[in-house]
Structure 1
Amino acid sequence: MDDPVVTVREGKVRGKISTDFDGNHFYSFQGIPYAKPPLGDLRFKAPEPPEKWNGILDATENGNECYAKSNIYTGSEDCLFINVFTKKIQAKFLKPVMFLIHGGGFISGSSHSIMFGPEYLITQDVVLVTFNYRLGVLGFLCLDDSTLGVPGNAGLKDMVMALNWVQYNIKNFSGDPNNVTIFGQSSGGASVHLLMLSPMAKGLFHKAIAQSGCALNVWARGKKHTVHLLADILGIDSTSDKVILEQLQKISVKELYNSSNKLADPFYVGKVRPFGPIVEKKSAKSFLSEEPIDLIKSGRYHKVPLIMGYCSREGIFVYAMCTKGTLLNDETIVPYSVNLRIGSDQYNSTVNSIKKFYFNDRNPLENKDDIYRLYTDNFFLLDMYNSARYLSETGNSPIYFYKFSLDTTLNSMKRFYSVTEPGACHSDELSYLFKNGLTPEDIEPKSPEYVGIKRMIKLWTNFVKYGNPTPNEQNNLLSTSWKPLESSRFNYLDIGEELVMKTDPEKKAMYFWNNLYNETSVAKAKL
């Protein structure tokens, strides 16, 4: 087989031949520009269409990751690249498209194949698209002065630009632009949900999968008024948005991030993060100009079939990564959306109620699973549970909900944190959808790991193809029919070593939290 060459709107690209999980060949195209490099005067602004090139672009390696910091700074500002993986080029029958939005809390992450190897999903005769979008201050700075073109959400607008690129070009990779499923995990899952709410994304996708994240999660929100705090840190002696923007566009990206990170609070539910998705001032170019909850409850969103769900012990990640292995202050317990003044009598009473429910006067450090359950519920599940309910009530498309509890040696995040308690950690399900740097070279056929991979990719790609994850008669791999939410039943699929249909995930906890919100609202109304 010769190296493949495909023509896109901007020019020709040369890919390479790769091998999938089943040992068959597929084509990889990586590092294709889907927007103009957001440099200089374009820093912080909405993306612009890519420029054309002459000759054949080498698309055989990952493009630059977007600038971010984990332990060290990595990546580049010139990072708006897209990747396409396909079995065939210009096939007679077009294939469903899966469009991945990576996670990382809107401050880190990338589409690099070391984390999102296509080898599993590509076996199912789909076209897989991955891409990078701007992160942190570069992707989510906002200014009040609307004439400056920095209203916020540039990173989300990158996603829209990438989806537009798919509409224009994916046919040449045998992808069907009329059958695009957006999917993502964590902040990628929240982004999927935000795209469902954004007028800017109308008609660009047809199904959605939100894994461990939604638009209502309290961590999926940014502050509007951080630019003047950032200017103070950098010593910019002006209150003019125009002057501050000019200075911010001139300084080095490392200095910009060193300064912006001084504003960054820990990953708490009790605080709004400095750089993340916001509600913009209304304009024709707004990604989001109304509160997500208002759009959801009113039914003003893109009604498409949806899979939404969570890992059984998301909170392992919060405890190990964000609180550094200790139960920290009350701001890790009470979400800011409860809207109570920190330190007030009602706030302290709420803290005590939550501790009583989860710990029942026990020392939480003696049974860490209590902590994991708390952080699973208040950081992730509660808002996803309520989102699914609202969407089911106001929409006309099926909502499939899941709880991922499978626990094998592929649960790489749980192993990374050295946790022995049963359950699946935040991000663990990704190891069954994508090959990554921790994946064993040999996965024994019929092992729980092998079956888990085959089952997950079949559920996800069935949904992509048919809008139903279990459309056919039951078989050994898919042993039950996945029922969507019903008006009087919150159905969900427990994805463990077996597939089991259940109702009302964490029923007592969801009742407790929703009742707590209702009680605090009533109490505030009486003040």
Structure 2
Amino acid sequence: MTEKIVKVQTCYGPINGCVKTSVLGRDYYSFQAIPYMKKPIGKLRFADPQPPENWSEPLDCTKEGPAFSNVFFLDNQYQGDLSGVHINVYTNNINPTKPYAVLLWIHGGGVFTGNALESITGPDYFMQKNVVLVTFQYRIGIFGFLSLDDPELNIPGNAQFRDHIMAMKWVQENIANFGGDPNNVTLFGESWGGGATGYHMISPKSKGLFHRGILMSGTPLNNIYSFMPRRNWALRLCLILGYSGPHDDKHILEFLENVDEKELAIASGKVMTDREKNEEAFMFPFGPVIETYDNGNAFITEDIINMVKNAWGNQIDILIGNTSNECISFAAMIKTQEALDSFKSFQRQVPRDLELELDSPKRLEYAEQLKKYYYGCLEPSISNLEGLMQVSNDSCLWHPMYRFIKARLENKSGKTFNYRFDYVTENNLWRSFLKIDEIYQGACHADDCCYIFKMKGLEGENFKLEVDSEAFNGIKLMTTMFVNFATYGNPNVEELKNVEWQEATKENPFIGLNINEKECKLMIIPELERVKIFDEFYHEQKKVLY
């Protein structure tokens, strides 16, 4: 069968897309691997992104492009290359009577891994709706977050955020040609993608490039990646790779610009010490930093909480939430005493922005308080992981979410709709992939993504989505909520069956919708009572909470 080719003009040149059919039987237009920035090779490897060269002949955008260079978290194998910086557009109508709202997705992966490939972000479910979906690949890991102190080198850090901005500007300039409304763009993402969405809400550099936000399991205040301390990460990496030259930034940069990208991606994960990983809870050495100088494009310029308080994005409407058991993955990860020993330190749960030294008496005191609060007189064990799950859920996600919401509400915010995703069916593919024991209840980190994207990379051979199932009902519910919110600013839908999803208020900042396969219910999010213990630490240390 001959593929139907569709031509669209972009500001850099014409492209050819094609018509595909979703798993649910609806035809849609697919445009993949569209250049939005130059390939970051040579001197551009770590530098601010540059626009691509123009072209005159139609570019073939009918096939998927590669991921960006990284060690993929699902199989711990290297994937992609430096050419993986491009954008994908999907829609069921490129000439609608009224332009469609735009959903612009930032993929997750903890700043150092992940991708926007169809294997985990298949557009099929969204293509049942009248919306334009945009996904894109961008620099990750050291390529997106190398930060050097020498201002003459112009590598201040946070290049990844500038990639995002380049993609957002591409959407503003081009999306009308695909039937999308450039004045109605919702930025959304999960995990690091949710955190990045929040970062763009607080940085003035992103102002006006999107109009609503959906933050799924991530905020800029996340205890894992809110910011990275400035340590000799780059030098450590060079030494691992056999570098023997001078230790100044100029020579370090020259070396890193010429190392094979695969070697660089693989070696980057070996830089941290065991204490940095296990007790300080660093996932990766290269991440968001407060830039020490402004090259004209500074993205993060001061403490994150101060930027949150004064954010331009406080004026826009958002959906924000977590899953009911984010860290249930511990049940799959902690099978041995050695694995338990690497996770059971409660020092790692003390918020990073309290700025307490690792072995300081106060940090040790707070760690002991947390242990007692979540375990009482018990000790963490392989057969008793619930406490570790809960404290990690709260310190990394629920408490940062609470602070983010409170800061918005204290500073004249737009509407805030909170949710708690507690939907568990056979379509919770992340839970299934991790082989979580049924004794542990709830939806795990990224399970909500399974209800907005088709994830054929996680589906087993016998997987089949039944259209009359609770799983399919969840897909209809989530995609309708998201598209309604993107289109109208209101996530309420008929599928909620007479439950009105109310916005958060100063009086009830943690009121939200508990999304469950049996019943969706408006409630005060139950994790509120637990996260208050973290508030006490901030008060005692005289640190800004919100």
| TM-score w.r.t. length of structure 2 | 0.90
**Residue 297 of structure 1: aligned partner:** 309
**Residue 300 of structure 2: aligned partner:** 288
2:352 aligned with 1:336, yes or no? Answer: yes
2:523 aligned with 1:502, yes or no? Answer: yes
Residue 477 of structure 1 deviates from its aligned partner by 4.3
Code of the aligned partner of 1:317: S
Q: 1:478 to 1:98 in 2, by over 3 A?
A: farther
> Alignment partner of 1:461: what SS?
helix
> Alignment partner of 1:31: what SS?
strand
**Residue 274 of structure 1: aligned partner:** 285
Code of the aligned partner of 2:289: I
8 Å CA contact 1:199–1:288 kept in 2: the answer is no
Q: What CA distance in whole angstroms lies between the structure 2 residues aligned with 1:192 and 1:489?
A: 24
After superposition, the C-alpha distances for 1:2-31 in whole angstroms (9 at most, x for unaligned) are 321111112221112112354221111111
Residue 303 of structure 1 deviates from its aligned partner by 2.2
Alignment match of 2:230 (pick from 224, 227, 247): 224
Residue 115 of structure 1 deviates from its aligned partner by 0.3
Alignment match of 2:17 (pick from 15, 18, 25): 15
Q: 1:60 to 1:322 in 2, by over 3 A?
A: farther
**Residue 238 of structure 1: aligned partner:** 246
| TM-score w.r.t. length of structure 1 | 0.93
2:449 aligned with 1:430, yes or no? Answer: yes
8 Å CA contact 1:181–1:464 kept in 2: the answer is yes
2:503 aligned with 1:484, yes or no? Answer: yes
Alignment match of 1:446 (pick from 461, 468, 485): 468
8 Å CA contact 2:102–2:134 kept in 1: the answer is yes
Q: Which blocks of at least 5 consecutive residues in structure 1 are unaligned?
A: 523-527
Q: What CA distance in whole angstroms lies between the structure 2 residues aligned with 1:260 and 1:36?
A: 23
Equivalences for 1:441-480 in 2 at 5 Å? Answer: 442-470=464-492, 475-480=494-499
Q: What CA distance in whole angstroms lies between the structure 1 residues aligned with 2:100 and 2:308?
A: 31
> Alignment partner of 1:217: what SS?
coil
Alignment match of 2:412 (pick from 395, 398, 401): 395
Code of the aligned partner of 1:460: F
2:401 aligned with 1:384, yes or no? Answer: yes
Q: What CA distance in whole angstroms lies between the structure 2 residues aligned with 1:107 and 1:418?
A: 24
8 Å CA contact 1:65–1:110 kept in 2: the answer is yes
8 Å CA contact 1:196–1:303 kept in 2: the answer is no
> Alignment partner of 1:374: what SS?
helix
2:268 aligned with 1:260, yes or no? Answer: yes
State the number of aligned residues: 519
> Alignment partner of 2:478: what SS?
helix
After superposition, the C-alpha distances for 1:185-238 in whole angstroms (9 at most, x for unaligned) are 000000000001112111110000010000011222233342233333342421
Residue 78 of structure 1 deviates from its aligned partner by 1.2
Q: What CA distance in whole angstroms lies between the structure 1 residues aligned with 2:533 and 2:384?
A: 21
**Residue 311 of structure 1: aligned partner:** 323
2:150 aligned with 1:145, yes or no? Answer: yes
Q: 1:447 to 1:391 in 2, by over 3 A?
A: same
Code of the aligned partner of 1:378: S
8 Å CA contact 1:392–1:486 kept in 2: the answer is yes
Equivalences for 1:74-153 in 2 at 5 Å? Answer: 74-153=79-158
Residue 257 of structure 1 deviates from its aligned partner by 2.6
- The sequence identity of aligned pairs, in percent, is 34
8 Å CA contact 1:21–1:123 kept in 2: the answer is no
> Alignment partner of 2:444: what SS?
coil
Q: What CA distance in whole angstroms lies between the structure 1 residues aligned with 2:171 and 2:220?
A: 23
Q: What CA distance in whole angstroms lies between the structure 2 residues aligned with 1:319 and 1:44?
A: 37
Aligned-residue RMSD, C-alpha: 2.1
Q: 1:195 to 1:427 in 2, by over 3 A?
A: same
Code of the aligned partner of 1:361: C
8 Å CA contact 1:319–1:375 kept in 2: the answer is no
8 Å CA contact 2:70–2:266 kept in 1: the answer is no
Q: Which blocks of at least 5 consecutive residues in structure 2 are unaligned?
A: none
Residue 479 of structure 1 deviates from its aligned partner by 3.5
Q: 1:441 to 1:310 in 2, by over 3 A?
A: same
Residue 520 of structure 1 deviates from its aligned partner by 4.5
Residue 181 of structure 1 deviates from its aligned partner by 0.3
2:255 aligned with 1:247, yes or no? Answer: yes
Equivalences for 1:148-163 in 2 at 5 Å? Answer: 148-163=153-168
Q: What CA distance in whole angstroms lies between the structure 2 residues aligned with 1:134 and 1:252?
A: 15
More off after superposition, 361-370 vs 44-53:
361-370
Q: What CA distance in whole angstroms lies between the structure 2 residues aligned with 1:380 and 1:267?
A: 18
Equivalences for 1:317-328 in 2 at 5 Å? Answer: 317=329, 320-321=332-333, 325-326=339-340, 327-328=343-344
8 Å CA contact 2:290–2:301 kept in 1: the answer is yes
Q: 1:346 to 1:215 in 2, by over 3 A?
A: same
Code of the aligned partner of 2:447: D
**Residue 171 of structure 1: aligned partner:** 176
8 Å CA contact 1:295–1:301 kept in 2: the answer is no
**Residue 525 of structure 1: aligned partner:** none
Q: What CA distance in whole angstroms lies between the structure 1 residues aligned with 2:39 and 2:294?
A: 26
